[in-house]
Amino acid sequence: MFERFTDRARRVVVLAQEEARLLNHNYIGTEHILLGLIHEGEGVAAKALESMGISLEAVRAQVEEIIGQGQQAPSGHIPFTPRAKKVLELSLREALQLGHNYIGTEHILLGLIREGEGVAAQVLVKLGADLPRVRQQVIQLLSGYQGKEPATSGGPQEGSPSGSLVLDQFGRTLTQAAR
């Protein structure tokens, strides 16, 4: 299921599991995925949420208010709830709909919004986020990156090593990594 996920998106899933453990929850729900998206801090999803004034602390506080802490720390594997699995499936649909062959943090956030009924959606609404507006913000951020790519010239963009601001911001140079 995670083969199309970017490194950041995979990190979000790992962070979601950590957030579930921190709250002593023995499942990974949409709320933990939302916490993972914000906790990751660098991807399009985190930037979109941050630009709307949604912080990790505020989301954590809302999750604790709605669900509370679990009784004891879970051990071993923590499964996804059916709703969280649906969000991950919807993230693939969102990616395909946008013509992307990868699943990034932005697609996971779009999946959370499209699902619209989980604890994550409730938390976003409680924090004053209008779900269609969050979606619009993500699309705007994505088109902002794409819009800065050269339209006609095939050469690298001025001041941009790869010629693509999206690659420069979210990619990594394999040559440097190999050194």
Give a three-class secondary structure readout of 68-135. Answer: CCCCCCCCCCCCECHHHHHHHHHHHHHHHHCCCCCECHHHHHHHHHHHCCCHHHHHHHHCCCCHHHHH
Q: What is the pLDDT of residues 109-145, one digit of tens each?
A: 888 888 888 888 878 888 777 777 877 777 777 776 5
Please state the CATH superfamily assignment of the domain spanning residues 7-148+157-178 in this structure.
Answer: Clp, N-terminal domain (1.10.1780.10)
pLDDT value for 134: 75
> Is residue 16 exposed (0-12), middle (13-18) or buried (19+ Cβ within 10 Å)?
buried
| Alpha-carbon distance values, 86 to 5, 13, 23, 91, 116 (Å) | 15, 14, 22, 9, 11
For residue 16, give both structure tokens: 């979601």
19, 32 Cβ separation under 8 angstroms: yes
pLDDT value for 55: 77
Q: Where are the domains of the chain?
A: 7-148+157-178
